[in-house]
């Protein structure tokens, strides 16, 4: 590459340390065990499942085995707020919050009708309820979907 004034063309001057800093900062994450399991190629490319890992090891409950998992601290802030509202029993901002989730897509474990309930996770700037939801099960299961039931992550405690 041609040089002009001692610098390479096409590259901003200074900051040669930036790439090294990013690489070194990501090393601890590369050495941690992943907090997700059972991810398919499709899961890895979806925006809702961008590589999220937690620093704390997580015990996977039986109901979440074989699913991608996420800890609440790695969910969007709006999802954490929805989880808090669920824990308190409301009040919920949307009329459909708490209604039966039919699991028609069969992406969650099969259960009898009425086992699952859905809650809206607000999407900033959306005019409608958006695509994000928390689904709860009768035995304290919690699932997050950021793409309107196409994929789910089991929400587990650290």
Which residues neighbour 88 within 8 Å (Cβ) at sequence distance 6 or greater?
Answer: none
* Cα-to-chain-centroid distance, residue 45: 13
> Has 139 been annotated as catalytic?
no
CA of 38: how far to CAs of 44, 55, 66, 67, in Å?
A: 11, 19, 5, 5
Find the catalytic residue in 84, 105, 139, 148.
148
Find the catalytic residue in 118, 139, 141, 153.
118
Contact 118, 133 (CB under 8 A): yes
| Cα 54 from Cα 31, distance rounded (Å) | 12
> Has 118 been annotated as catalytic?
yes
Of 47, 131, 117, 122, residue with least CA distance to 79: 122
CA of 99: how far to CAs of 27, 134, 137, 140, in Å?
A: 43, 12, 12, 16
**Catalytic residue set:** 118, 148
């Amino acid at each position: 590459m041609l040089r002009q004034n001692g610098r390479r063309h096409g590259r901003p001057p200074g900051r040669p340390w930036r790439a090294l800093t990013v690489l070194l900062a990501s090393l601890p994450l590369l050495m941690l065990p992943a907090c997700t399991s059972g991810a398919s190629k499709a899961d890895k490319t979806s925006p809702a499942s961008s590589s999220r890992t937690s620093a704390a090891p997580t015990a996977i409950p039986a109901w979440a085995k074989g699913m991608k998992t996420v800890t609440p601290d790695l969910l969007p802030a709006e999802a954490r707020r929805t989880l808090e509202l669920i824990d308190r029993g409301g009040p919920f901002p949307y009329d459909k919050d708490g209604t039966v989730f039919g699991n028609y897509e069969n992406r969650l474990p099969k259960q009898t009708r009425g086992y699952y309930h859905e809650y809206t996770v607000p999407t900033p700037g959306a005019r409608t309820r958006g695509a994000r939801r928390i689904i709860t099960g009768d035995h304290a299961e919690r699932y997050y979907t950021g793409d309107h039931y196409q994929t789910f992550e089991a929400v587990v405690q650290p």
